[in-house]
Amino acid sequence: MKFATKVIHAGIEPDPSTGAIMTPIFQTSTYVQNAPGNHKGYEYARTQNPTRDALQKNLAALENGTHAICFSSGLAATDGIIKLFSSGDEVISTNDLYGGTYRAFTKVYERFGMKFHFTDMTDVNNISPLINANTKMIWIETPTNPMLNIIDIAAVCKIAKEKNILVCVDNTFASPYLQTPLDLGADIVMHSATKFLGGHSDVIHGCVIVKEKTLADKLYFIQNATGAVPGPQDCFLILRGIKTLHLRMQRSCENAEKIAHFLLTQPKIEKVYYPGFTDHKNHDIAKKQMRMFGAMVSFTLKGDNFEEAKRILSSTKLFSLAESLGGVESLIGHPASMTHASIPKEERMKTGLVDSLIRLSVGVEDVDDLIDDLKKALN
């Protein structure tokens, strides 16, 4: 099945009791049994829910995996993955990272005795020196948030395989329409489905996709044993959003490319970060591992002018000033004070995340209106 067919049909069956074409929202906590232990495969809704089952099957198909495990948020999905490990285990992570992931790694799991190393993985040679006998996982985000760094997933997986280390890719920024890390050798893919998968800025949700049953069983165990499950209505909203994922991504990526080129012509702008530029670091890798270059564009202002950045951030009309990304509507954000405020300033500056950095999540509106909005705000 091709991608555009999978988003609509994979894992989705008409409801057996009524024929409803849309997966019903099974808003129930428990299921009636005929006799003790004699049931229809559903006992208690933390453990199984038919709406969640349909979504999990669909997500597994989109990422070319075998199993998907859903959680109540992207961070709950990450939490589920980290619970595969124990005190003393170590993880090597990208240094330009979603702020909430960095906060969970350093402020929560380190308290339980895990150790996290952060390094610039745009050069994969930086990874090997950090590997030791305790290294259990390499954590990749690509494109990274918000610098849009590109990491060579296949090259990292090659390094990890030799040492028997798991590779997890946070695929939130790309979505499976653009990039399928399991095909490149990764063991685990995670998403904040809040973003492109849901696509309509109306739900918080997370998921993990794997291609191997032993790992899937461990994650299902954690999902049930520690309980950060999504509600059925949220699963329905993600299923609903996914049906247009390919159309939304296609349009958002086309719009982002035009906007990136427009920003290059603007005199107040110092640098535009967009993986589609031929001089963007690792552009050739983006070309190899992604279908298009994504819907995110970041830029900085000349002289790192923070006051001017604040003015622009409050001047756009169509680009709404808000955290998050990946919805049909365009958003503008200030990582240093919003999504990445939990990262210490000196750490931020090291990765280029300066105070005038502005991040755009490009939606599916008419691109002429979007460019006009930015033009007015910049001048």
Ligand X SMILES: *Cc1c(COP(=O)(O)O)cnc(C)c1O
Report the catalytic residues.
Answer: 46, 98, 170, 195
Tell me if 199 contacts ligand X by CB under 6 A. no
* Least distance between ligand X and beta carbon 96 (Å): 11
Tell me if 361 contacts ligand X by CB under 6 A. no
Encoded tokens for 205: 């949700």
Site for ligand X in 207-246 (CB under 6 A): none
12, 62, 75, 140: which one contacts ligand X (CB under 6 A)? Answer: 75
Pairing of strands 166-170, 358-361: unpaired
Tell me if 101 contacts ligand X by CB under 6 A. yes
42, 84, 89, 100: which one contacts ligand X (CB under 6 A)? Answer: 100
Give every CB contact of residue 53 below 8 A, 6+ residues apart in sequence.
11
Element (H, E) at 86: none
What's the CA dihedral at 278, 279, 284, 286 to 10 degrees? -90
Tell me if 194 contacts ligand X by CB under 6 A. yes
Tell me if 187 contacts ligand X by CB under 6 A. no
Encoded tokens for 314: 């409050």
Q: How far apart are CA 134 and CA 90, in angstroms?
A: 6
* Least distance between ligand X and beta carbon 278 (Å): 25
| Largest pairwise CA distance in the chain | 74
Which residues are bridge partners to 296 per DSSP?
A: 361
Q: How far apart are CA 79 and CA 98, in angstroms?
A: 14
* Least distance between ligand X and beta carbon 23 (Å): 21
Tell me if 296 contacts ligand X by CB under 6 A. no
* Least distance between ligand X and beta carbon 339 (Å): 8
Instruction: Specify the residue, 131 or 328, whose C-beta has the smaller distance to ligand X.
Output: 328
145, 250, 300, 351: which one contacts ligand X (CB under 6 A)? Answer: 145
Q: How far apart are CA 59 and CA 67, in angstroms?
A: 8
Site for ligand X in 151-170 (CB under 6 A): 170
Tell me if 94 contacts ligand X by CB under 6 A. no
Tell me if 192 contacts ligand X by CB under 6 A. yes
Q: How many binding residues for ligand X (CB under 6 A)?
A: 16
Please report the sign of the dihedral spanned by the C-alpha atoms of residue 52, residue 97, residue 333, residue 371.
Answer: negative
* Least distance between ligand X and beta carbon 175 (Å): 11
198, 206, 294, 327: which one contacts ligand X (CB under 6 A)? Answer: 206
Q: Distance of alpha carbon 203 from its chain centroid, rounded?
A: 14
Which residues are bridge partners to 46 per DSSP?
A: none
Site for ligand X in 114-143 (CB under 6 A): 141
Tell me if 175 contacts ligand X by CB under 6 A. no
Please report the sign of the dihedral spanned by the C-alpha atoms of residue 337, residue 169, residue 199, residue 238.
Answer: negative
* Least distance between ligand X and beta carbon 15 (Å): 28
Instruction: Indicate the residue type of 52.
Output: R
Please report, in angstroms and rounded to a whole number, the separation of the first and last CA atoms in the chain: 48
Binding residues for ligand X (CB under 6 A): 73-75, 98, 100-101, 141, 145, 170, 172-173, 192, 194-195, 204, 206
